[in-house]
């Protein structure tokens, strides 16, 4: 193993987890579309912030969960309407 350095100053994680047997999860609440559109907008705003899909963040009941790291900001119930605010928070 070797240190490869840091490419991004922040990472925005969007939970896109899909649970079996129809259990409540972010995937059934539009997470994939949110991730794709947020990634597009972030590329326009700041290339030093990476938007990535994540597995379960254990906040399914709160709706689509977005975490901004290393700021330790956790947002629940995120929708496409929230993208401008997410971008603003992540790029500050």
Name 12's bridge partners.
51, 68
pLDDT digit string (tens) for 35-50? Answer: 999 999 999 999 999 9
Domains of the chain: 10-91 (3.40.30.10)
Is residue 84 within 8 Å of residue 37, measured between CB atoms?
Answer: no
pLDDT digit string (tens) for 9-25? Answer: 999 999 999 888 878 88
pTM, two decimals, is 0.91
Report whether pLDDT(80) > 90.
Answer: yes
Provide the terminal-to-terminal Cα distance of the chain, rounded to the nearest Å.
Answer: 32
Of all residues in the chain, the percent with pLDDT exceeding 90 is 80
Q: Write down the pLDDT at residue 8.
A: 96
Angle between helices 83-91 and 31-45 (to 10 degrees): 50
Which residue reads 């997410």 in tokens? 86
Q: Write down the pLDDT at residue 20.
A: 83
């Amino acid at each position: 193993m070797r240190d490869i350095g840091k490419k991004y100053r922040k990472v925005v994680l969007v939970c896109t987890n899909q649970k079996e047997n129809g259990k409540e999860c972010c995937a059934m609440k539009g997470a994939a579309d949110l991730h794709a559109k947020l990634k597009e907008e972030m590329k326009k705003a700041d290339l030093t912030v990476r938007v990535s899909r994540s597995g379960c963040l254990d906040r399914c009941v709160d709706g689509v969960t977005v975490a901004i790291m290393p700021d330790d900001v956790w947002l629940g119930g995120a929708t496409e309407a929230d993208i401008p605010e997410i971008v603003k928070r992540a790029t500050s």
